[in-house]
Homo-oligomer: A and B are copies of this chain.
Amino acid sequence: MYPNFISHIRKYVELDDHSVARLNQYISPLKLKRKEFLLKEGQICQSIYFVEKGCLRMYFIDDKLNEQITQFALEHWWIADHFSFLDNKPSPYFIQTIEKSEILAISTTSFEEMLRELPQMERYFRIIVQRAVAASQLRLKYMYEMSKEEFYQHFSTTFPEFVQRVPQYMIASYLGLTPQYVSELRKKKL
């Protein structure tokens, strides 16, 4: 049904076929075109989203009206504004497709029911959320220790698939650089 989703879960917990069938009850599949929104500023983030296929970005508008990208999500990544999702607060973020994408959504209420019915999923989410914390600790360490130039070079060599797939100005935004500066850095490297 959703091969990336199921195989991702089975990487971390055991899940028999009956549980897979039950799991489907809680999931809403979405087919989205390029530049469609899953969340807009001011809305409550009512679901967490799994990228079955495609690519998303999460961003907010800063005081100079720039779109500041804080996260990307490719295949088998989860994305949400967790603060908004957990506490039902309006989100400052937009979540938008960068390409045509297939997304699985689990709403707040489905999430709660699913975790009650399927304790393996409680375990699965504990593990992947813990991995998300590990990833954000690492990202933060890079931000502390690298200059912006190093940070860009590191990112583009570590994740070349992103540089292929995502416009350069979005990578600049994610890394906290101006597009002009990225352009300068690329020129310098050749």
A interface residues, Cβ below 8 angstroms from B: 60, 62-63, 68, 70, 81-83, 86, 92, 115, 119, 122-123, 125-126, 129-138, 140-141, 143-145, 176
Number of copies: 2
- Knowing A115-B123, A122-B122, A176-B144, say if A137 contacts B92 (CB, 8 Å): no
- A63 and B163 CA atoms in complex are apart in Å by 27
Q: A70-B140, A92-B141, A136-B136 are in contact. List 8 more A-B contacts (CB 8 A).
A: A82-B131, A82-B134, A83-B134, A83-B135, A86-B130, A86-B134, A122-B122, A136-B137
Q: DSSP majority for the A interface?
A: helix
6 smallest CB-CB distances across A and B, nearest first, come from A82-B134, A83-B134, A126-B126, A136-B136, A129-B129, A68-B144
